[in-house]
Amino acid sequence: MPSITQSKTNRFSDLIADHRGLIGGIATAGVVLAIVGVYVFSWGADGEPPTPPEKVFNAKVKRAISAHTIKLKSDERLNYAGIRGPYKDEPLFEEALRRNKSLVEGRRIRMRYDKEPKDGKDRVRAYVFADEGFVNEILVREGLAYVRLTPGERRFATELLAAQAEARRNRRGIWKQKPVSTEPRYPADPKYGNFHRPSCEEVAKIKPERLVTHKTSRRATDAGCAPCPKCRP
């Protein structure tokens, strides 16, 4: 028959074992919860699969063709997404081209895209980053390019429109020379990101379901439309 002292000792040992089991169970449960927490966090609260990491492509620029077009070392042409610079017969074409050359020509660049790297005409369109920063935005901020947003090119719409507002406010580049247009309205086609004078021949080509009318040219540019190079509104 065990003594009272032995009984107390055995009960104490059992109690310690029970506590150890409980502590071990809590620790194990904590690890499981931590794992589950990481799993939920990585998949998102709505149960959607995690977004894959963005692919950023690098390339070397052979030469700049215009303020918004470059040729890569691979001989592939690339157009800057979300903007357009002056065309050859528009003011500041040479100045904008020179600035683009200083930013990218002979340099390595990083390219980021919207959903697809090419548009409906199989042209490469990208947001370009070089040593000085976001090239598309730099050209717009310096008044050497217009913002031109289309349904497939809106990833950096906020940054580009803010840069354009700054350039216009400070009358830089194209905004210093641009006269105020006094048309009663400005038809626009969001599909191509252009706005026009009412008399422009391009207006007849806009499908009725796409036609948008702006009261002033400023409202058109605030909406991310660039002026038509033909009628120059």
pLDDT, tens digit only, all 233 positions of the chain: 444 444 444 444 454 445 444 444 444 434 333 333 333 333 444 445 555 556 678 999 999 999 999 999 999 999 999 999 999 999 999 999 999 999 999 999 999 998 777 776 677 899 999 999 999 999 999 999 999 999 989 999 999 999 999 999 999 999 997 767 789 999 999 999 999 999 999 999 999 999 999 999 999 999 999 999 999 99
pTM: 0.76
In a domain, 208, yes or no: yes
For 173, 188, 210, the CA distances from 231, given in Å and listed in that order, are: 20, 12, 19
Q: Which of 148, 174, 200 lies at the terminal end of a domain, its last residue?
A: 174
Query: Residue 27: what are its φ and ψ, rounded to 5°?
Result: -60, -45
**Dihedral of the CA atoms 185, 190, 191, 195 (nearest 10)?**
40
Asked if 106 and 64 touch (Cβ cutoff 8 Å), the reply is no
Specify the pLDDT at position 54: 64
In a domain, 8, yes or no: no
3-state secondary structure of 92: coil
Question: In this structure, are 61 and 165 located in the same domain?
Answer: yes
In a domain, 149, yes or no: yes
Asked if 107 and 131 touch (Cβ cutoff 8 Å), the reply is yes
Question: In this structure, are 69 and 104 located in the same domain?
Answer: yes
In a domain, 197, yes or no: yes
In a domain, 216, yes or no: yes
For 83, 196, 197, 231, the CA distances from 182, given in Å and listed in that order, are: 24, 12, 10, 13
d(CA 87, CA 226): 12
Q: Half-sphere exposure of residue 56, counting CA atoms within 13 Å on the CB side?
A: 8
Full domain range(s) for residue 123: 57-174
Question: In this structure, are 169 and 206 located in the same domain?
Answer: no
d(CA 2, CA 214): 99
Asked if 221 and 164 touch (Cβ cutoff 8 Å), the reply is yes
Specify the pLDDT at position 180: 72
Specify the pLDDT at position 126: 95
Question: In this structure, are 158 and 61 located in the same domain?
Answer: yes
Return the closest-CA partner of residue 70 out of 130, 142, 146: 130
- How many structural domains are present in the chain? 2
